[in-house]
Amino acid sequence: MKPAGFPFSKPTWPTGVPRPAPDRRVGVDYDHEWSRRYPVRLARAVVLDNVTRPAARIVAPTTVRGTEHLRHVAPPAIFAANHASHLDTPLLLTTLPVRFRHRTVVAAAADHFFDRHWKAVLWSFGVAAIPIERARVNRRSADVAAALLEEGWNLIVYPEGGRSPDGWAQPFRGGAAYLARRSGRPVVPVHVNGTRHVLPKGGGRRLPRRSPVSVVFGPPLTPDEGEDARRFGARIETAVAVLADEVSSDWWQARTRAARGDTPSLRGPDVAGWRRSWALDPRPEAPGRDPWPRV
């Protein structure tokens, strides 16, 4: 039986006419505006609150500290956090208070999360991700992020530019500091601890391993008069380091060391790889032994 022709089947392409290259529009060129329309925002809020949040709490029992610093922060704000695992983003999003959570976008690597169309759609819907060029300075990425801040969207940024390869932080780049200076919005430092035990980078393990996690928010920061992005970026890194010190010791000791300028570096000791691994924090204790309040 002869197959039905057009319009009941796909039309044929004339053999003498070259086919144009498919318009992929991925990477920094991906059009993510659709992910911030109200119906999509509503669907994402339902998923975040009823699927992602409970799932994250099962895989990574979470303790939260420092939310009192957010009470007097008027949105929009820039949340600058360390980055050790793909779990950081859903965990941080579901930890934010509701008035921030459902109007927050996430700066994501264009070459990783937006290199395929299906991945771009998935991450744009799931966490309201926007593509950021991390391999080189890209004015377009900065303009998009700044415009969203002007529109009232909060922004999650990982100043390291990617996940930590060994558990220690990488040097902070100046993106968050630049956006804060440009937009006039505060930067809230955040330290996420323990996610590398749940889902590490390059660990050869695709399924997460249940382990307790902590999220600590610090006081909001704004650039001082005449302070450039480089110096402000260094101050943001120090603020996150103080929060990390608080996790490994306590609030008083961390603040005492910060006042003396003795806060341990997020980047770890400058020694051989095996000694850096040995100096990392051990796997946290069982959730029942954690004294912090759970959310």
pLDDT at 28: 85
| 130-145 residue pLDDT tens | 999 876 656 788 899 9
User: Domains of the chain: which residue ranges?
Assistant: 27-199+211-279
| 216-265 residue pLDDT tens | 999 999 999 888 889 999 999 999 999 999 988 888 999 999 999 888 88
Q: Which two tokens stand for residue 84?
A: 């050790």
Q: Inform me whether the pLDDT recorded for 91 exceeds 50.
A: yes
Backbone angles phi, psi at 150, to 5 degrees: -65, -30
Question: Domain spanning 27-199+211-279: which CATH class is it, in words?
Answer: alpha beta
Q: What percent of the chain has pLDDT over 90?
A: 53
Q: What is the mean pLDDT of residues 197-219?
A: 83
**Band (294; pLDDT cuts 50, 70, 90):** very low
CA-to-CA distance for 223 and 174, rounded, in angstroms?
A: 12
| 3-60 residue pLDDT tens | 565 566 667 777 777 776 655 678 888 999 999 999 999 999 999 999 999 998 899 9
On the CB side of 201, CA atoms within 13 Å amount to 13
Q: What percent of the chain has pLDDT over 70?
A: 82
Helices 139-150 and 175-183, axial angle in degrees (round to 10): 50
Cα–Cα–Cα angle for 152, 181, 159, nearest 5°?
A: 85
- Contact at 8 Å (CB) between 170 and 269? no
pTM (two decimals): 0.84
| 276-293 residue pLDDT tens | 665 666 655 544 444 444
